[in-house]
A = this chain, B = another copy of it.
Amino acid sequence: MLPTPKKVTVVAGSGEGDHKLTAFDNALLAAGIGNLNLIKVSSILPPECELVERLDIPPGSLTPTAYGALASDVKGDRIAAAVAVGFSDRDYGTIMEFSGHCTREEAEQKVRAMVEEAFRRRGMALRDVRVAAAEMVVGDRPGAVVAAAVLWY
């Protein structure tokens, strides 16, 4: 099987670019994950996965990541992305991500509430939640936000 990640790092960022995809690239760079090959996963914190504050992954690495992202080229658009990682006492956890046209606080609230619901649904006790979020108002150039739980080794 594919190796199960052992570490999790929670990041967020925003960026602008000449195109929506380069704005996304710049948001990833701002979040510290712009030089990785993100593989989108949905969205479980593996058991015994350790929270690590600082990423240390070589460029180009295939990196399983649960993330929410949004890009816009509409001037004045307020966009936000948030991710929440819920840690249990002794088992796996859950990760929830969100992006939308809202404030950072609203996005944070949403992912927190979703993690709480996912834990309730599983009958598990929520020991801790770690959240990262980003918000921006799009200016003259396209903008993007991203919030990510990076799973690594």
Contacts and interface: CB of A to CB of B under 8 A. Distances in A.
Contact of A94 (B1, B25, B57): B25
B60 A46 contact: yes
Contacts of A39: 2, 39-41, 64
Contacts of A26: 121
How many copies of this chain sit in the oligomeric assembly? Answer: 3
Contacts of A60: 4-5, 44-47, 49, 92
B37 A44 contact: yes
Contacts of A22: 96, 114, 117-118, 121
A15 to B, nearest CB: 9
Contacts of A118: 22, 25
Contacts of A152: 1
A41 B49 contact: no
A29 interface: yes
Contacts of A45: 60
24 contacts: A1-B3, A1-B61, A2-B39, A4-B58, A4-B60, A5-B62, A17-B117, A18-B113, A18-B117, A19-B113, A21-B98, A21-B114, A22-B117, A29-B121, A29-B122, A37-B64, A37-B66, A39-B39, A41-B62, A45-B60, A46-B59, A47-B60, A59-B92, A60-B92
Interface of A: 1-5, 17-19, 21-22, 24-26, 28-29, 35-47, 49, 57-64, 66, 91-92, 94, 96-98, 110, 113-114, 117-118, 121-122, 151-153
